Each structure stands twice: as C-alpha cells, then as structure tokens.
Amino acid sequence: MVDSTIAAASVIAAAIAVGFAGIGPGIGQGNAAGQAVEGIARQPEAEGKIRGTLLLSLAFMESLTIYGLVVALSVLFANPFAG
C-alpha cells in the first residue's frame, strides 16, 4: 500500500504545480489577446491574419501550462517515490 504521507504530498504537489503553471501563461495570453483586439480595432481588414497568428501563439503559451499539467499527472499517476 502507498505511504499516506507520500500520497498526500503528491496531491498537494499536483495542485501547486497546475496552479502556479497557470499564472504566467494566463498573463501572457491576456496580453496577447488584448493586443490582438487592439490590432483588429485599428485595422479590421487584417482580422483573419491576426486571428491565425493569435491562435498559434496562444497555443504556444498554453503549452507552458501543459508542462505543469504533465508534472502534476506524473506525480499523481506515475509517482516515482511511491515504491
């Protein structure tokens, strides 16, 4: 059976990993989306191009959060310390 201290610590670690990984990309995505809206408002005819670039860069920022999620998942489901 799993040591209960390790299980509890793993769950807390997973929560912290996802939570903190969300902060930076959240700020970044907000900035990017804001700038994109500004760009569209200034130049409505460039909307298609701006949207494409925005989606691509949002997905790149998203992947930073996903790294946190991968750490959380490996802590929860493939914990190396849980014997």
Partner 1 sequence: MYTFLLSKIEVGSHYYINFSESLHLHGETVFVSSLVVFVMSLFLIVSTSNLQRVPSTLQSLGEVVYDLVKSIAITQMGPSYYSQFLPFIATIFLFVLGSNLAGALIPWKFIEISSGELAAPTNDINTTACLAILTSLSYFSAGLKIKGIGFFKRYIKPAPFFLPLNIVEDFSKPLSLNFRLFGNVVADELTVAVICSLVPLIVPLPVMMLGLFASSLQALIFATLAAAYIGEVIE
Whole-angstrom distance, CA of residue 17 vs CA of residue 74: 11
Helix (H), strand (E) at residue 38: helix 4-42
CB of 33 to partner 1, least distance (A): 15
CB of 56 to partner 1, least distance (A): 7
- The residues that touch partner 1, with contacts defined as CB under 8 A, are 2, 55-56, 59-60, 62-63, 66-67, 69-70, 73, 76-78, 82
CB of 1 to partner 1, least distance (A): 9
Q: Which residues contact 15 (CB under 8 A, 6 or more apart)?
A: 72
